[in-house]
Amino acid sequence: MRIFLLFVVALNTYFSLSLLGQDVPTPSTTNVPHFKIAPAPAIPEELSATFFFENRERLREILPDSSMVVLFSAPIRKRTNDIDYPFHQDPDFYYFTGVKEDNAMLVLFKTPMRINEKWYREILFIENDNMIKQVWNGPVLGSEQAKEVSGVATVLSNTEFKNMNFDWTTIANVYSNENLFIELNDVKHPGDLASMVNHFKLKTERAGKKILVNEGEDLYAKLRQKKSAKELEMMQRAIDITGDAHVNVMKMIKPGMTEYQLQAILEYTFHYNGAKVAFPSIVASGDNGAVMHYTQNDALLIPGDMVILDIGAEYEGYAADITRTIPVSGVFTEEQKQIYQLVLDAQTVAIRYATKGYKFWTPHEEAYRTIGKGLISLGIITEWGDIGKYFMHGTSHYLGLDVHDAGLYSSLQPGEVITVEPGIYITKGSACDEKWWGIFVRIEDDILITDGAAKILSERSPRKISEIEALMGNSSASAD
């Protein structure tokens, strides 16, 4: 009965709109073409225990004398009732252990410490025997496999941490991470994350030690901001898959489709190629392009509009972050071309300054200057101080295990990966000729800092006007 009533309501709405002479906003299904999945990029070898072991050794090298580091895994976040949000490991914890499970903890010493008649350089605490959890969520890692994954020689049950007696007289600095601030606690589970956090706080408080979280995060960021060759392999695969997703949408998009249909194509490409979604996909058509982090993705695609596709695949924990702005109808209008080309010119200049030795913020300063000159030339603004009305966000951020990855934001150095993403957003009612209203453009690429010129890692995704229009106009692109 309830379904029938909903059908009647929908039917009445349809005829009401028809009688008023209005178009009925229904998503198109008959004109959605099939597409061929682009060949998957080569799969790199997974990160080995050696990688995580070497990361811990590099951390020891930069630790002050008489220091220890205590890192906690990410907590489980409840969505509703007995359903949790998908688990995503804390990037610092993963970087130093390779462990992707919750309720885990790493203790690392600058120099070995004697505990209960034994010497330890590091100890990994994990969940070993939660049988109820295994029934519902599958097997846990276990001690032996945790050793193989992390390279940590000593792996103990997380319930054992509370009985560890440290020699605090030998410790001057205690570093941790932001999961220290977790508040949830399962009283029925003596080894859950909150229990370990609480025991750690109690031990340090009794020893009169201060826990250094911000200082610790700076140490981890110093190591994480420079990517190893193996990390770059993982990132390149994530970036290539993201580029393929853009290409697939450019081949499929038609007026009358919906934003969520584009999202489905994008994320299907991710999963088909063995990747995950690094962050909520932004598919913003028309006026939705004015919302920087728009994720509702439920609007119809209107002829003449543009759509911003700000997306990223995640592979082995490493994220891509690429944005393309494309015309719904396959061809940019003259005004759209002018704004798009201005953003592309600003990005080109910014990438030129994404070079060893320049300040992290130099690419943004150069993009901002280029956009300002362009807006004045087009008559959109007359005062330099009005640039921020149309370009209101930064141009770059670090990229890696986080989409906005850890880094010190000092001078750029080889091995760092950053984004370069200028944009122009002209809302309806802006103080300019209305021919510019409703034009929103953002172009974002993933850039590797080298000893020479910057390397664009995301070339797989077309970004020039001629390339985009040619691809979207390829009549064979939608063939079965």
**Residue 425 known to be catalytic:** yes
| Residue 160 CB coordination number (10 Å) | 12
**Residue 215 known to be catalytic:** no
Q: Which residue has the tokens 């960021």?
A: 221
Catalytic residue, from 101, 316, 425, 460: name it. 425
| Alpha-carbon distances, residue 121 vs 93, 114, 459 (angstroms) | 17, 9, 44
**Residue 397 known to be catalytic:** yes
**Residue 14 known to be catalytic:** no
**Residue 442 known to be catalytic:** yes
**Residue 402 known to be catalytic:** no
Q: Count of residues for the chain?
A: 480
Catalytic residue, from 186, 393, 434, 467: name it. 393
Catalytic residue, from 321, 366, 445, 469: name it. 321
Q: How buried is residue 369: exposed, middle or buried, by Cβ count under 10 Å (0-12/13-18/19+)? A: middle
Catalytic residue, from 421, 445, 446, 469: name it. 421
Q: Which residue has the tokens 């295990």?
A: 401
Q: How far is 121 from 432, CA to CA, in rounded Å?
A: 64
Catalytic residue, from 324, 442, 460, 463: name it. 442
**Residue 293 known to be catalytic:** yes
DSSP assignment letter at 387: G
Catalytic residue, from 85, 218, 404, 459: name it. 404
Catalytic residue, from 310, 402, 405, 469: name it. 310
Contact 285, 254 (CB under 8 A): no
Radius of gyration in angstroms for the set of CA atoms belonging to the chain, rounded to a whole number = 26
Q: How buried is residue 139: exposed, middle or buried, by Cβ count under 10 Å (0-12/13-18/19+)? A: exposed
**Residue 60 known to be catalytic:** no
**Residue 129 known to be catalytic:** no
**Residue 366 known to be catalytic:** no
Nearest to 417 by CA among 379, 393, 446, 452: 446
- Three-state DSSP at 414 gives coil
Catalytic residue, from 82, 117, 144, 451: name it. 82
**Residue 82 known to be catalytic:** yes
Catalytic residue, from 240, 444, 445, 469: name it. 444
Contact 239, 457 (CB under 8 A): yes
List own/partner pairs for 163-166 with CB under 8 A and 24 or more apart. 164/107, 164/115, 164/116, 164/123, 165/115, 165/116, 166/68, 166/113, 166/115, 166/203, 166/207
| Alpha-carbon distances, residue 277 vs 86, 111, 240, 281 (angstroms) | 11, 39, 14, 8
Catalytic residue, from 293, 334, 383, 480: name it. 293
Half-sphere exposure for 41 (CA within 13 Å, toward CB): 22
Q: Which residues pair with 212 in a beta bridge?
A: 175
**Active site positions, annotated:** 82, 293, 310, 321, 393, 397, 404, 421, 425, 442, 444
